[in-house]
Amino acid sequence: VRLVGSEMCIRDSISIVSVNATWELVNPGAPWLQVTPDSGNADKGRGTTITLKMLKEMPSGTSTTLAFRIANETEDREVTVTVN
């Protein structure tokens, strides 16, 4: 995921699809990034939009990794977010 620009309050989004299980954000990444919502329920394949918001201006190329845990999975799913 790339956040375009380095201005504060840049927003972007990703989608998480969890057909039969709940999910939660277990690593929110760097403090300059806000992720909402931070948990969700099974969505029968519709998907949930997750908003990423920069809270502080960061230089291009700065990155952080988020980790999501989906119930019944043994490995967390990671997403790298990079300022572009």
- Predicted structure pTM score: 0.81
Q: Which amino acid is at 48?
A: T
Element (H, E) at 33: strand 33-36
Tell which wins on pLDDT, 47 or 5: 47
How far apart CA 55 and CA 3 sit, in angstroms, is: 12
The tens digit of pLDDT for each residue in 25-60 reads 999 999 999 999 999 998 888 888 899 988 988 898
Q: Is 18 within 8 Å of 49 (Cβ atoms)?
A: no
Q: Is 28 within 8 Å of 66 (Cβ atoms)?
A: yes
The tens digit of pLDDT for each residue in 51-84 reads 998 898 889 889 999 999 999 889 998 888 888 8
Q: Does residue 37 have a cis peptide bond before it, meaning omega lies within 30 degrees of 0?
A: yes
Quick check: 23 pLDDT over 60? yes
